Structure 1
């Protein structure tokens, strides 16, 4: 019998096991502290965490990511490319999020931009921007039913999702700034 076998089981394993035990102990202490500090920082800055619940329950994703941060209010003028958190407008189409639900979308056009939807094609400021991938699958609707040609007024934004199948302004038009809750930052 060797000397190492004569030691109690908790003493066996040498430096490797001591390292593992100290690492686990460190993680058990530091992880809750870090999470607490993150939560405190978010609370102090007014930043909130949001989840795409539909994705969690296996439904089609309605947010650009599973988890996102959002800051209430609109302190600066929104610009193309910003992500915003808004309330779903009333669409009357019976698909997508319910009226008033929170949605995260990317700004595709702002006040002064021209938007044209013709058939299944979308143009913003005369440039082809995207297609209307859902136009043929919305019950009771045909692609031409979404045709529109307008210029966004002050306080209006044209929102688009980050997936081809996103239900967004291509189908329900511009959203007024009053519907916006704040800016969003998709995480993962």
Structure 2
């Protein structure tokens, strides 16, 4: 999976992206003190979504969910990732209901297509990588979520995300 070269992250570009995001957030703010949108970035030293520096989060459960969408939910909603100190978890949809999932030899395939590699976080669960291997069809109302980094704690380890816990969609700003 080769990606095109990305422009360097410079302070000027980052501030321009933040300003754009703040302007969008201000324009889409609902009354009654409740934000309709917010901004998000990954504060961790090893980002789980290295392609995403800044995202606009739309706080409304989406009508449709497709492969490649960024979804977010409350960290405590599923039990998995409840240790996360941020209010929301943001991951990318790799598989939707009806897709065929295969995890073999540390490689994750959806419908025969490689979507990510590595089971390095197996040690966090005190298990061997082979314990996470499986062949499955993603059930209705469930999504297979990934970070695009090897060290992302995602559906490879804790299973499918239920649709009813999805708080909204994220959109890459920068």
TM-score calculated relative to the size of structure 1: 0.65
Q: CA deviation at 1:174?
A: 0.9
Closer, same or farther: CA 138–37 of 1 in aligned 2, 3 Å: closer
The structure that has the greater radius of gyration is 1
For the aligned residue pairs, the C-alpha RMSD in angstroms reads 3.0
Q: What does the per-residue CA deviation read over 1:39-73, in whole Å, with 9 as the maximum and x for residues that have no partner?
A: 53031492222233x33xxx332455343111112
Equivalent residue, structure 2, for 1:86: 73
Give 1:176 shift.
0.3
Count of residue pairs brought into register by the alignment? 148
Match of 1:3 in 2: none
Any gaps of 5 or more consecutive residues in structure 2? 1-19
User: Distance between the aligned counterparts of 1:127 and 1:38, measured in 2?
Assistant: 35
Distance in structure 1 (CA, Å) of the matches to 2:165 and 2:21:
32
Report the TM-score, using the length of structure 2 for normalisation: 0.69
Is contact 1:109-1:157 (8 Å) kept?
yes
Cα shift readout 1:8-59 (whole Å, capped 9, x = no counterpart):
xxxxxxxxxxxxxxxxxxxxxxxxxx9986553031492222233x33xxx3
8 A Cα contact 1:96 1:167, kept in partner: no
Which one has the bigger helix percentage? 1
Q: Which runs of 5+ in 1 are unaligned?
A: 1-33
Match of 1:49 among 39, 42, 52: 39
Asked if 1:169 is matched to 2:158, the reply is no
Q: Give the alignment partner of residue 117 of structure 1, picking from 103, 107, 111.
A: 103
Question: 1 or 2 for the larger relative contact order (CA 8 Å, sep ≥6)?
Answer: 2
CA contact (8 A) 1:42 1:48 kept: no
Tell me whether 1:76 sits opposite 2:66 in the alignment. no
1:128/1:68 CA distance change after superposition, 3 Å: closer
